């Protein structure tokens, strides 16, 4: 299986009836942002929400593209990092959008990574009881995961993404050229989400990644750019198909949380800090989910080891031993798991696997087995 060579952007449709929208994937697409928005919503104004780091690299290009299409803009720049998914920054963003007289017929542009997409999308869902918005994801993780599917949120003191809303964008514009400026660690964290789609439901794609992951990382103006765009498009198609069938996560969409039950607990234990990026937490969580599945006799140990080996090969953490600074007690981690959004009637939902590409949702996991498993992993620190 090789990546197809293509010069034109790839387009993936998220089929949600009257609320359907396109994910457009390719190099240099920010230049077309204004024309695409004008075609969708003529004469609308736009509030661009971004962070300090992204603004330095990409805000001028986005504003120029909108100006070329005759679209009036304002921008809201927030601090970079997970700390911006807070009530304080959410309030500031909402007030700035309102102060700029952005009307219900106008829209918000989320220009940034997952934090900005979540924050700007949630602001759009609430200001004037709902504004439309466009996602322009600037990290690999956002391009393959958080920009697609309409989940928006900020964090609570009790855990990640606990305050939010489902609010679908009208367009996702994934310009793969912006990934050229992404630090390697950030790119690697995004790759964890690509691996997730393969591990949860596409064994052939996982085999392709084992062979081609270096080209995905290489990207740029080379043969690697085709591998990168192929990996992004396959990931987006996988997510779009699941979202179309289960928009509000009442069933199948929970599969997209592979690695997240363990991962969110690890992320919260690290204070949502640079000690552990979200994608790194997902990678560690997936490794734990596969190891736990094998421990429970749900899948062959060799398959779990293969999945974990690939994550380690690309440089991602695969457990507590790879997380700097140490972690709290098993009791604390179990408390954090108990705060997960997927808890039902006090029982956490785990995404486990019967093999590579064969994940499933499990709500009846014995918590003492989880506690013992985590205790062993913490002892390896």
Catalytic residues: 129, 151, 193, 239, 249, 253, 257, 260, 264, 278
DSSP state of 58: I
Residues in the chain: 381
Annotate 320-338 with b (16+ C-beta within 10 A) or e (fewer).
bebbeeebeebeebbbbbe
Tokens for 29, please give them: 């697409």
**Rounded distance, CA 22 to CA 148, Å?**
10
Contacts of residue 371, Cβ cutoff 8 Å, sequence gap at least 6 = 330, 334
**Full strand arrangement of the beta sheet holding 21-26:** 10-14, 21-26, 171-175, 132-137, 107-112, 46-51, 73-78
Tokens for 251, please give them: 């069933």
Burial category of 216 from C-beta neighbours within 10 Å (exposed 0-12, middle 13-18, buried 19 and up): buried
Q: What are phi and psi of 350, to 5 degrees?
A: -110, 145
Report the candidate in 153, 134, 137 with the shortest Cα–Cα distance to residue 145: 137
**Rounded distance, CA 314 to CA 275, Å?**
18
**Rounded distance, CA 194 to CA 345, Å?**
31
């Amino acid at each position: 299986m090789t990546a197809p060579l293509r010069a034109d952007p790839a387009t993936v449709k998220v089929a949600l009836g009257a609320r359907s929208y396109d994910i457009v994937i390719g190099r240099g697409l920010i230049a077309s942002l204004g024309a695409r928005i004008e075609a969708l919503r003529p004469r609308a104004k736009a509030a661009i929400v971004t962070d300090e780091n992204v603004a330095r690299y990409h805000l001028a290009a986005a504003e120029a593209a909108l100006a070329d299409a005759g679209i009036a803009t304002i921008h809201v720049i927030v601090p970079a990092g997970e700390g911006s998914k807070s009530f304080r920054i959410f309030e500031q963003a909402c007030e700035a959008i309102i102060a700029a007289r952005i009307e219900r017929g106008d829209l918000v542009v989320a220009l940034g990574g997952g934090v900005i997409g979540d924050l700007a999308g949630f602001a759009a869902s609430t200001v004037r009881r709902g504004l439309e918005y466009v996602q322009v994801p600037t990290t690999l993780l956002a391009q393959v995961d958080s920009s697609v599917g309409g989940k928006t949120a900020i964090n609570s003191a009790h855990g990640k993404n606990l305050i939010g809303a489902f609010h679908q964008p009208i367009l996702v514009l994934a310009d793969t050229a912006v990934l050229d400026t992404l630090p390697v660690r950030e790119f690697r964290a995004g790759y964890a989400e690509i691996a997730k789609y393969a591990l949860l439901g596409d064994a052939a794609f996982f085999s392709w990644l084992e062979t081609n992951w270096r080209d995905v990382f290489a990207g740029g103006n080379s043969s690697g750019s085709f591998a990168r765009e192929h990996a992004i498009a396959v990931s987006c198609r996988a997510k779009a198909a699941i979202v179309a069938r289960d928009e509000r996560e009442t069933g199948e969409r929970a599969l997209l949380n592979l690695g997240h039950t363990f991962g969110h607990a690890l992320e919260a234990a690290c204070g949502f800090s640079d000690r552990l990026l979200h994608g790194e937490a997902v990678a560690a969580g997936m490794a734990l989910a596969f190891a736990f599945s094998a421990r429970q006799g749900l899948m062959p140990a060799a398959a779990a080891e293969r999945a974990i080996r690939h994550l380690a090969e690309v440089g991602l953490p695969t457990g507590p031993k790879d997380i700097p600074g140490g972690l709290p007690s098993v009791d604390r981690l179990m408390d954090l798991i108990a705060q997960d959004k997927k808890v039902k009637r006090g029982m956490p939902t785990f995404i486990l696997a019967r093999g590579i590409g064969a994940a499933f949702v499990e709500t009846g996991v014995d918590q003492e087995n989880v506690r013992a498993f985590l205790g062993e992993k913490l002892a390896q620190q």
